[in-house]
Amino acid sequence: MKTNEKRELSYFQSLLGKYIGEHHPELSNDKAFLSSRADEALNVYANAITIGLSDLEAEEAANEVLYNGLHFSKYDTIVEVLWNEFAENIPQSLAEKLAAILLGNTAVQKTFAKYKLDDDFDGKPEYDELYTELTGCIQIIIERNELPVF
């Protein structure tokens, strides 16, 4: 980023939209969330510049607001389980599509609901429990629905 470069709302909307699309596809259609979060980030950025912070410091502050609560991703966790535990049966190219479908599955949602998911969850011991439960849950879904495996 160039020194003294100003940021606009569209910049933060673009950053967040890309991130959401890659890590939280379930939020992709939540325009109110995307808009309000980008607006918050822009306000933090502008206030930081006003009080004399550098562009880099201002952007770091804005990014904290922009990505708050979004560091842990249910979607990424499902993809990881599919890649690691079902790699022999589900090609990586299909894992992301299947993960998006599984994200909406009631049993998968109930599995996630058992845990207090926050930005640091993947570094906590409970993450391993979730991972194991998701693996079993996905295995049952595949078997019960007679999903084709490769």
Instruction: Give the global pTM.
Output: 0.85
Which is nearest to 98 in space by CA: 150, 146, 138?
138
Give 123-137 pLDDT, tens digit per residue. Answer: 999 999 999 999 999
For the segment 101-113, the average pLDDT, to the nearest whole number, is 95
Tokens 């949602």 sit on residue: 109
Give 5-59 pLDDT, tens digit per residue. Answer: 567 999 999 999 999 999 999 999 999 999 999 999 999 999 999 999 999 999 9
45 half-sphere exposure, CB direction, 13 A CA radius: 21
- The mean pLDDT value of the chain amounts to 91
